[in-house]
Amino acid sequence: MVVVVDDADSSAEQRLHDAAKRWTANTRYGPADLIRAAGQALVDGLDSPALRELAGASANDSSHDVARLLAAAFEELRIPEPGTVPLGYAVGAGGDPQVFTVALHVDDDYQVFVDTPWRGRSPEELAREVCHTLAQPPQTWRASWLAIQPRLTNRPAIAGRDWRRYRI
């Protein structure tokens, strides 16, 4: 099965990150989809030895080998792996170009995605709004959460009532 994702408005790095996120989340997105995404990343201008090797891998290769190549490619390209986004690293969670998302770690157990709509603001105005939001109690943030550890099914302790589970 091939999964088709409309992400034409995203950067090559974001598309590769999103493909890895779908693959690591054990969705219907399989090794062949990830390998195809690696090939597309090369076409889109990304390049590293591990990315080239991943793009040339076989869908019949072991998941361990594919994961190893993916981790090496991300390291070479300096793209954070899903579930390991460093504190304060901005990513386009969901790929919505109208929303700026900051990804945060909570106790190495959760990722928290704090969304701020652009609403026609300049980057400076948006940055001020993001800083203002993050200065407020976490329970008030417009946020979603993703458990890094599959065993975790409850929301993080800092979650507000309106927080939702992030859907990949």
Q: Are 116 and 142 in contact (CB under 8 A)?
A: yes
Q: Are strands 143-147 and 164-165 parallel, antiparallel or unpaired?
A: parallel
Domain ranges within the chain, ordered by starting residue? 12-77, 89-165
Q: In tens digits, what is the pLDDT along the chain, a chain of 168 residues?
A: 333 344 455 678 888 888 888 777 766 777 888 899 999 999 999 899 999 999 999 989 988 898 899 989 988 988 876 655 555 555 544 556 788 888 888 877 888 889 888 888 888 888 899 989 999 999 999 899 988 877 888 999 999 999 998 876
Element of type H or E holding 106:
strand 99-106
pLDDT of residue 121: 87
Q: State whether the Cα torsion 115-157-106-26 is positive or negative.
A: negative
Residue with tokens 């990722």: 111
Strand partners, 143: 114
Cα separations (Å) of 13 from 10, 19, 29, 47, 151?
Answer: 8, 10, 18, 11, 29
Task: Report H helices in the chain.
Answer: 12-24, 31-43, 49-55, 63-77, 123-135
Task: Kindly tell me the number of DSSP H helices and DSSP E strands found in the chain.
Answer: 5, 5
